Amino acid sequence: MSECIFCKIAAGEIPAKLLYQDDEMLAFHDIKPAAPVHFLVIPRAHIASCAELSEAHAPLLGRMLVKASELAREQGLNEGFRTIINTGRIGGQEVYHLHIHVLGGSQPLGAPF
């Protein structure tokens, strides 16, 4: 059995507040939101990080970004949102299953850098 927490969410083995799922991706609310709206979009397949991506993943990653934008709209983020992908130790990645963060709310987010 996978030890990866996001693989466990994808398999329904641990609960998450799901926003969306299909045969290749899921979206769920972040357990520790850093903004009024904060959700994650993940591939169902275990890809550890952006550093493991290859050309074959390009269509999937494109569809994940399109879905992220669609869900952002559904969550009322009509004036914009922020997408973040943390990669590796230097990128501050904590969960080694690729995920796109989507953050937003009624106020502009602080400068990220």
User: Which residues are tagged catalytic?
Assistant: 99
Interaction between residue 3 and ligand AMP (CB under 6 A): no
Q: Which is nearer to Zn ion, 10 or 72 (CB)?
A: 10
Among 61, 71, 81, 97, binds Zn ion (CB under 5 A): 97
Nearest to 105 by CA among 30, 41, 18, 34: 34
Window contacting Zn ion (CB under 5 A); options: 27-35, 58-66, 67-75, 97-105: 97-105
Helices (H), 2-111: 5-10, 58-74, 88-91
Residues contacting 42, CB < 8 A, separation 6+: 6, 9, 10, 25, 26, 27, 28, 97, 98, 99, 100
Window contacting ligand AMP (CB under 6 A); options: 30-38, 52-60, 61-69, 72-80: 30-38
Residue 83 binds: one of ligand AMP, Zn ion, none (C-beta under 5 to 8 A by kind): none
How far, in whole angstroms, is CA 10 from its chain's centroid?
Answer: 12
3 state DSSP class of 104: strand
Question: Where do contacts with ligand AMP occur on this chain (CB under 6 A)?
Answer: 5, 16, 28, 30-32, 86, 92-95
Question: Where do contacts with Zn ion occur on this chain (CB under 5 A)?
Answer: 4, 6-7, 46, 97
